[in-house]
Amino acid sequence: MKVHVEIDCTPEEARAFMGLPDVSKANSIYVDMMSKAMKGVSSPDQLQEFAKNLAPMGQVGMQLFQSFMDAGMKSGGTSSSKK
């Protein structure tokens, strides 16, 4: 049996309903910092280096995240073919 429930609400209402914290102030500070930092980036190579420096644990964190995503894509592909 499948049951589908649709709830029409704003993102703020959904956040409050699920008990998630309001991070709008932190998000606006983060966006301001990112926009100021990105003003000096003029090439894709600079952008990639900037992203590596921002990632948790730097290059190692990015490689770990990439391997995690690759493993998820591979396991998702095999499970759908077994159906």
DSSP 54: H
Q: Give the pLDDT confidence score for residue 46 in this predicted structure.
A: 74
Calpha distance 3→5 (Å, rounded): 7
Per-residue pLDDT of 15-30, as tens digits, reads 898 899 988 898 888 8
Give the whole-angstrom CA distance, residue 19 versus residue 10: 14
Model pTM above 0.75: no
Give the C-alpha distances (Å, rounded to integers) separating 25 from 17, 38, 39: 19, 20, 22
Instruction: Give the pLDDT confidence of 6-63 residue by residue, as tens digits.
Output: 989 998 899 898 899 988 898 888 888 878 777 777 777 777 777 777 666 666 776 7
